[in-house]
Amino acid sequence: MSFNERLFLLNDYPFERLRSLLKGITPPSGRSIMMSLGEPRHSPPSFLRDILDMNSDLWGRYPPINGTSGFRAAVTDWLIRRFHLPNGLLDPDRHVLPVAGTREALYLIAHLVVPRRKSGERTAVLIPNPFYQVYVGAAVMAGAEPIYVPASWHTDFLPDFDTLDPATILRRKVVAPHHPSLINRISLAFLCTPANPQGAVATLEYLKKAISMARRYNFVLAVDECYSEIYDSSPPAGALQACADLGGDLTNVIVFHSLSKRSSVPGLRSGFVAGDPDIIAAFSRLRAYGGAAVPLPVMAAATALWQDECHVKENRTLYRAKMNVAAEILGTQFGFRRPPATFFLWLRVGDGEAVARLLFQNAGIQVLPGAYLARPDSTGLNPGRHYIRIALVDNIEVITWALKRLRSLLTPC
């Protein structure tokens, strides 16, 4: 049997690698605490079930790709409120499209905007390193060359696009880097803010600079903002907000939002993309062929969730309490610094894989080695190799026990 050969360029998904790493280990007393997966476990708002039940008759109808007018209006209103956008910047019918969870949309965006070649050269996709795995799968399966941009503590855990070597981008020896005839290979750049796994947040100035670069080199800036509502104290800026500051043009920019983290409903599989109307129109056409349409009862529930902020504030309060516990237990050990927006801890522990095995063997705590979320850099070193990622999604009692046990088992480095 033959397969698409690009599939074999992908590593196993991080959780498959973790299962292999922990295979054969029996945790003490058979107890296992999963802190490797960022799956929210807070209770969703109580009205969710009622809305799904009230719209149960709609399970018998095919849902439209572009969703309902009520959903698009609710999303548009939320974006305007949340990111202080001027009225008139967004048209619900031109700038918003529902998706079946943003992982699907982040994967499909590369198939939409990455041509086989750009100006005669193989196209490239910029990916922060470490990263969310879907970015790599999207780039590779679309036939592009992934270019990993460092996002380490040296760059405040955000990709520094200014450090890119022009010879890497242009795939040729650069004599005059600013010469207008040089070929630009970039077709797409992924940016995650707040960042997974580190929780770093891009400033408005950073976003404006990234947008200006996308327009200067004519590539699409895909901004994954799925953790934007899990902030500690200050709401993070957004890419559409930066577009507004730059005059209101949405060209080359698309943002991704999901209810999974914001509303603790990962199983609902509901999100949206918004931005450049030409990209949205093309995205709608592509999804008519390969995307999963969001069922109408889910669309009704999602509409209500985007219209309600009370449950989001409660959700944020619970995560803040868990981060308080982490700060109290860990202090400055393992490179801990309180992230501005996330429910992940990104801890420097030495050998991430060895520590993951040790924690599972001695305490039944599952964490994700940071190396599984990164690729080796130009020197051959994996920037995640010294780290583990811990998801603070369990209840506060379990998290307290697990972090105290972790601290007792590990020697800070």
Tell me the pLDDT tens digit for each residue of 9-67.
998 899 999 999 999 999 998 789 999 999 999 999 999 999 999 999 999 999 999 99
- Provide the domain limits for residue 33: 5-43+311-409
Q: Is the pTM of this model over 0.85?
A: yes
Question: Do 148 and 241 have their domain in common?
Answer: yes
Task: Judge whether residue 238 has pLDDT over 50.
Answer: yes
Please tell me whether residues 161 and 243 are part of one structural domain.
Answer: yes
**What pLDDT sits at residue 166?**
65
**298 contacts 268 by C-beta, under 8 angstroms:** yes
Answer whether 133's CB lies under 8 Å from 389's CB. no
pLDDT of residue 169 exceeding 70, the answer is: no
Q: What is the CATH number of the domain that holds 31?
A: 3.90.1150.10
For residues 287 and 375, state if they share a domain: no
Q: How many Cβ atoms sit within 10 Å of the Cβ of residue 252?
A: 24
Q: Is residue 345 part of a domain?
A: yes
Count of structural domains, the chain:
2
The verdict on 326 and 228 lying in the same domain is no
CATH code at position 289: 3.40.640.10
Q: Are strands 220-224 and 253-258 parallel, antiparallel or unpaired?
A: parallel
Are 157 and 133 within one domain?
Answer: yes
| 252 domain residue, yes or no | yes
Q: Are residues 9 and 82 in the same domain?
A: no
End residue of a domain, out of 269, 293, 308: 308
Are both 89 and 227 inside the same structural domain?
Answer: yes
Q: 167: pLDDT confidence band, cut at 50, 70 and 90?
A: low
Q: Which of 258, 274, 308 is the last residue of a domain?
A: 308
The mean pLDDT of 146-154, rounded to a whole number, is: 92
Task: Say if residue 232 is in the same domain as residue 318.
Answer: no
Per cent of the chain over pLDDT 90 is 86
Task: Give the confidence band of 179 by pLDDT, cuts at 50, 70, 90.
Answer: very low
Residue 176 forms part of a structural domain: yes
Q: What is the pLDDT of residue 180?
A: 40
Q: Are residues 187 and 297 in the same domain?
A: yes
